[in-house]
Amino acid sequence: MKATPLKVLILEVLRRSGPIPFEGFMELCLYHPEFGYYMQGRERTGLRGDYFTSPDLHPIFARLVARQAAEMWETMDRPSPFTWVEMGAGRGWFAQDFLRWAERQRPEFFAALDYVAVEPAPPQHEFIREKLAQVGLLTKVRLVEDISRLEAVVGCFFSNELVDSFPVAVVTRLGGRLREIYVKAIGESLEEESGPLRGPTAAAVARYVHDLEEGCRAEVNLRAAEWIRAVAAKLRRGFVLTIDYGDLVDRLYTPDRPRGTLMAYRGHTASEDFYSAPGETDLTAHVNFSALIDAGQDAGLGLAGFATQERFLLALGEENQFRDLCEPGESETGQLQARLKLKRLINPEGMGTIFKVLIQQRGVSSPRLTGLKFERK
C-alpha cells in the first residue's frame, strides 16, 4: 500500500525526534491541520463514510434530543436566548433535524434558540451552510471552529460521539510495571515500543487503571478532562449533554477487554490497524464517563444523571408513543423502515446500551428531566 501523505510526514518527524507517545501520534492522525482525518472535507459518516452515527440513521434521534432540549429550556424558566452549542457538528444532519422539529413543534422554543455549531474543520462549514440553506435555516445557526470564541452562555452544550475522538494515551503492564506505548519509525513502517509513563498519564492511571493485569492494555483520555473544564468555563447556567460510547470506570477497565477499546475504522470495517493509513482512518476509544463526572464536579458541574441511550430515547418517546418517528403521510414502507431504524438506535445488544448519556448541570436546582426517567443508578 502506498504511504499516505500524513504517514510520510509522521515518519519524517519520528526520524528527527525519536519515538513519541501514542497520544501524540493520534493527535497528528486526527487533527493535523492539512492531513488529519477530521480536518479534511472527507465524508466521514453514513454509507459513503467510515462509520454510522445516530443522526445518520434517522431524524428521530435529533427530534427526541430536541424534545429534551425544550424541556431543559422550560426547566430553566424559558430564558431568551437559550444557547444550544453542538460540538462536533460534522455535516449538519443533526442541526437540520433538531431545528426543523423545533420550528414545527415548539415555535416559542425555536424563537428563543441561539444555535451554535462548533466544527474545527473549515471545509465542513460549507457542507453545513449548504444543508441548512436548503431548508431555510442557515440564518438560525452560528458556525465557529472552537468554543474559545464563545462568551459564557445560558443553555446547553451538546455532543454526540465527540469525546471518543480525542487523542488517548495507551498504557500496558509489562513485567509487573505499568508502561506507556510510544510510536517509532522502523524503515518505512510505524511500530510500537513501551516506555515510561509521563506524569499526567501516571496520575490518571493511579486513579482509574491501577488494577491493569499483566499484558493487558487500557486508554487514558487526558483531553476529556481538559474539554469538560473548558465547557464548564463557558456555561453560566444550564446543562452539558454528552452522548458517546463508553461506561463508568468499573465497567470500562475489565479483564474481558485485554486489548483495551482503541479501534481503527475505515470503510465501515473495524480493526486494530492503527498505522498503515494515517489521516485516512478514524481512531477512537471508549469514553471513561467517571473521569468526565469527576472533572466536571471539580469545575463546578453537578451530576444531573446518567443513562443508556436506550433508556434515554425510550423515556423521551414514551409520552407520545414515538409520534416524532414519521413524517405526516409517510407510506407504510417508510413507516416500517423508520421503526427498524429506531430499533437499531435502542437495541439493548447494540447502540442502545453501548452508548451512554451523561447530563451535567450548573445553576439548575434539582432538575427533573424526562430523558433521565429510567436512568442507571
Which own/partner pairs from 223-226 qualify as long-range (CB within 8 Å, at least 24 positions apart)? 223/166, 223/167, 223/168, 224/163, 224/166, 224/287, 224/288, 224/291, 224/292, 224/295, 225/291, 225/292, 225/294, 225/295
How far apart are the C-alpha atoms of 185 and 234, rounded to whole Å? 40
95: cell is 442541526
Q: Is 109 contained in some domain?
A: yes
Mean pLDDT over 121-131 rounds to 87
Q: Is 342 contained in some domain?
A: yes
299: cell is 469545575
Provide the residue range defining the domain that includes 257: 54-167+222-372
- The domain tally of the chain equals 1
Q: Is 177 contained in some domain?
A: no
Q: Is 187 contained in some domain?
A: no
How far apart are the C-alpha atoms of 60 and 97, rounded to whole Å? 8
Residue that wins the pLDDT comparison between 287 and 54: 287
Element (H, E) at 159: strand 153-160
Inter-CA distances, 69 with 114, 235, 341, Å: 12, 15, 22
Global confidence as pTM: 0.94
- Which stretch of 11-20, 22-31, 43-52, 137-146 has the lowest confidence by average pLDDT? 43-52
Q: Is 85 contained in some domain?
A: yes
Q: Is the pLDDT score of 47 beyond 60? A: no
Q: Is 3 contained in some domain?
A: no
| pLDDT band (50, 70, 90) for residue 311 | very high
CATH of the domain at 293: 3.40.50.12710
Q: Is 192 contained in some domain?
A: no
Q: Is 183 contained in some domain?
A: no
Residue type, position 301, single letter: L
How far apart are the C-alpha atoms of 134 and 208, rounded to whole Å? 47
